[in-house]
């Protein structure tokens, strides 16, 4: 019985590995033409910037290519083992750099509040944790576009074991019946999107030895809090 189980498990793992390789190869093949299309569209967009009709349509093409790239990256991340490349990071600087990237497209002013000074350094994979936070900012931005007087804040705090990153906003929020499902793959309440952004984010944070908690009162306040252990964890697939 054990031998049969071991063979089944081995076959399953082998099939999973083949699927991962196939997804990675397919993603690579799709990315190349997307990059070419994006480069050509960006060239035309810049060259004919003064001609409204051309600029409008090349802008649409670029936006749609960016959307496809985002979906492709999400799908690739979800399909892969996502091993971590850990490095020591000062959270204040890390968050400030991300805010500089997202603030131009964010629908309200957003600031960082540091509750513990100085914040302890943490061991994180910067690229993957950036993906988590950008996903949270994107979701928050979508929710804030639906309300008057949008407000958002990033709060950094720490205790003896963990550092905490909280994103708080006064957007549309999440219904109580949906909160228990939001980290499930392909669950979404949006008209667009694959519904895997939060599932990927949750997997990344768990690989860091942390967790994500959420509190939401629709149209009042929503908080997503990421906890990251201060102790360096072993990198496991």
Q: How confident is the model at residue 162 (pLDDT cuts 50, 70, 90)?
A: very high
Who wins on pLDDT, 189 or 154? 154
Length of the chain: 237
Mean pLDDT computed over 17-45: 75
Q: How confident is the model at residue 89 (pLDDT cuts 50, 70, 90)?
A: very high
* Three-state SS annotation for 90-121: CHHHHHHHHHHHHCCCCCCCEEEEECCCCCCC
pTM, two decimals, is: 0.69
Tokens representing 178? 């949906």
- The two counts, helices (H) then strands (E), for the chain are 6, 7
CA distances from 19 to 9, 16, 26, 77, 223 (A): 15, 5, 10, 13, 36
Does the pLDDT of residue 179 top 70, yes or no?
yes
Who wins on pLDDT, 76 or 232? 232
The DSSP H or E segment spanning 201 is: helix 197-207
């Amino acid at each position: 019985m054990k031998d049969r189980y071991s063979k089944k498990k081995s076959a399953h793992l082998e099939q999973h590995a083949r699927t991962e390789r196939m997804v990675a190869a397919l993603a690579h093949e799709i990315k190349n033409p997307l990059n070419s299309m994006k480069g050509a569209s960006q060239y035309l967009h810049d060259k004919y910037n003064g001609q409204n009709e051309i600029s409008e349509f090349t802008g649409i093409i670029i936006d749609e290519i960016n959307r496809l790239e985002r979906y492709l990256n999400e799908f690739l991340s979800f399909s892969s083992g996502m091993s971590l490349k850990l490095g020591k990071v000062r959270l204040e600087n890390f968050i400030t750099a991300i805010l500089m990237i997202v603030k131009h497209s964010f629908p309200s002013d957003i600031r960082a509040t540091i509750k513990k000074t100085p914040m302890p350094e943490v061991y994180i994979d910067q690229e993957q944790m950036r993906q988590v936070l950008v996903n949270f900012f994107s979701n928050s931005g979508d929710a804030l576009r639906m309300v008057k007087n949008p407000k958002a804040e990033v709060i950094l705090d720490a205790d003896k074991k963990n550092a905490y990153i909280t994103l708080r906003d006064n957007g549309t929020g999440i219904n109580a019946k949906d909160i228990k499902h939001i980290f499930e793959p392909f669950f979404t309440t949006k008209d667009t999107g694959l519904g895997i952004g939060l599932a990927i984010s949750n997997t990344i944070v768990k690989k860091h030895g942390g967790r994500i908690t959420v509190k939401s009162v629709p149209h009042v306040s929503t908080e997503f809090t990421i906890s990251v252990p201060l102790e360096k964890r072993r990198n496991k697939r």
